[in-house]
Structure 1
Amino acid sequence: PTAASQYAALEALTGEQDSVEMMRQAFEERLNKLYPLVAAIPGVKLTKPQGAFYLFPNVSGTMELCGYDNVTSFVNDLLEDALVATVTGAGFGAPENLRISYAADWDTLEEAVKRISEFVEKKRKK
């Protein structure tokens, strides 16, 4: 690595850690508020992560309720119809899961889950 990268790494390891703890607490708070909202979406199976900044729910039941047979179509329609961006779990070896980051601010996350829930309810009625 370049000298600048080495100095940056040294500072990251030996410098003040207050901001790291502040962000860890912010992510934990978001997780604790977001987890029950996502878990309440019909058909979702979800394990609470212990060290990530994303949720990785199994949405096979949700997809079945909404008439989908693959996560890619579900994620694409979620983006197009509800304007919520998620990532399929297919690239992670979990084709029935999707990845929801909680690195955004709380208002954005709350709105995203509201939109996902409304999307599921709308699709279930068809």
Structure 2
Amino acid sequence: MVPDMEAAGSTGVLSSSADDGVNNPETEQTQNETSNAKRRRGRNPEDKEYRSLKRLLRNRVSAQQARERKKVYVSDLESRANELQNNNEQLEEKISTLMNENTMLRKMLINTRPKADDNH
């Protein structure tokens, strides 16, 4: 078994009892607690609560940003719809004017043609 450096102390020197190959119950227990603490990292209730609150806050911020993006998108769509409506009204007005002009020109053309009956 390789000794844990943290369990050995800050100098990295092991006690003589660990070197003899004899199992010291206190050293084993300390090493087990240290390794268990490492494995269980993030599982304590404070970490869970912290992560949960952090995730909740991120979710709220994300939802608010989504609502703002949607508001901008909808307002852009509404302004585009108004522009298209105005453009459509102008084009319909132009069509009406051109149709009236066309009708008037046809009548003028009919009136200015020499009649076939007049020549005979």
TM-score computed with the length of structure 1 as normaliser: 0.22
Relative contact order (alpha carbons < 8 A, sep ≥ 6): 1 or 2 greater? 1
Which of the two has greater strand per residue? 1
TM-score (norm 2): 0.23
| Rg comparison, structure with higher value | 2
